[in-house]
Amino acid sequence: MGDPRDGTLKVGIAQGPVLQSPDRIKVRAAALNPVDAAMRAGVFGGEESVGLGWDVAGTVDATGPGVSWPIGERVIALATGHHKPLATHADYVVLDADTLAPAPASLDDTHAAALPLNTTTASQVLRLLDLTPGQSLLVTGAGGGVGAHTVELAHRQGLKVTGLGSAADEEFVRARGADHFMARGQTPEAAGFDGVLDAAGLGPAARAAVRDAGAYAGLWPGSEPASERGIRVEALSVQSDGALLTELSRLADHGVLFARVAHTYPLHAAAEAHARLAEGGLPGRIVLIP
């Protein structure tokens, strides 16, 4: 069964609360994310033992009453929640059918598994910022998973995007749609951005780049800086949304969203995968393969 703090995992059938329209998914790939490391470290408190894994790509293996997903259908899904007793780092996962989306036809399971959490977060945070075409957006951590997908989607929405990240990421971030790039350590000359997505968790330093009455969004509720100068300060609590994920899957097939995988590990080597995640500097996701 295992303690999440020592890197061991519950491997088997992952299932949370009783669902109204459940599907069982045979897991083919499940990504590892920084939130998993935070859960292992007890950042969110709660139970001694928690299930890890938010992203999944696999095939529908069994369905509940009234579920229309065909057996064998390739799907992706996002399993949200910080206190799941079991999650997607398992052989099977049981999820509500409404959270599933068709897997991108152009991607294999390994790359498809890198999409759900980061793309859903990027899309929902842009909704939260509520900017309009032509307005300016600064994305910190633009070379990371959420940051890069935010750049892609913001560019598609007609925003003027500036990415801030490691100098080594400049070519990649510009290729994802950034109009401008700032290397880590640089700061804007003045507070002039209509909105900031602070994927890097810079806090007050990122808020300082927002114009008066602009908008700031962070990704860790409770850690966002206080509002000042009329700035609207938000923190996203990401939610599963099968309809949204279906649209994001379509955008991946159309080349709008680019899935990056840095390493794969077998599920039984999850502790090794977490150790590599902790080292940082990854040009993409780590993905576990059952």
Which of 15-19, 77-81, 138-142 has the least mean pLDDT? Answer: 15-19
- Lowest model confidence (mean pLDDT) among 80-89, 188-197, 223-232: 80-89
**Encoded amino acid at 130, one letter:** D
Indicate the pLDDT class of residue 65, thresholds 50, 70 and 90: confident
Q: How crowded is residue 221: how many other Cβ atoms within 10 Å of its Cβ?
A: 10
User: What is the per-residue pLDDT across 85-129, written as a single tens digit (0 to 9) for each?
Assistant: 668 999 999 999 999 999 999 999 999 999 999 999 999 999 999
Residue range 59-83: mean pLDDT, rounded: 88
| Domains of the chain as residue ranges with CATH | 4-115+259-289 (3.90.180.10), 118-235 (3.40.50.720)
Fill in the amino acid letter for 149: H
The least confident of 17-31, 104-118, 257-271 is 17-31
Mean pLDDT for the chain? 89
pLDDT of residue 223: 87
How far apart (Å, rounded) are the C-alpha atoms in residues 219 and 29? 24
Predicted local confidence at residue 84, as pLDDT: 64
Give the pLDDT of residue 21.
67
**CB distance 29 to 90 below 8 Å:** no
Whether the pLDDT of residue 218 is over 90: the answer is yes
For 228, phi then psi, to 5°, come to: -155, 160
pLDDT at 254: 98
The mean per-residue pLDDT over the stretch 241-247 comes to 98
Structure tokens at 89: 């780092």
CB 120 within 8 A of CB 241: yes
Q: Which of 21-25, 57-61, 157-161 has the lowest mean pLDDT?
A: 21-25
Q: How many residues does the chain have?
A: 290
CB 93 within 8 A of CB 87: yes
The percent of residues above 90 in pLDDT, for the chain, comes to: 74
pLDDT of 63 strictly over 70: yes
Q: Strand 285-289 vs strand 261-266: parallel, antiparallel, or unpaired?
A: parallel
Residue 18 pLDDT more than 70?
no
| DSSP label at residue 221 | T
Unique residue bearing structure tokens 């929405």: 157
**Integer Cα distance of 102 and 247 in angstroms:** 9
> How many angstroms separate the CA atoms of 195 and 50, rounded?
35
Name the band, by pLDDT with cuts 50, 70 and 90, for residue 189: low
The residue to which tokens 């909704």 are assigned: 127
The residue that leads in pLDDT, 39 or 198, is 198
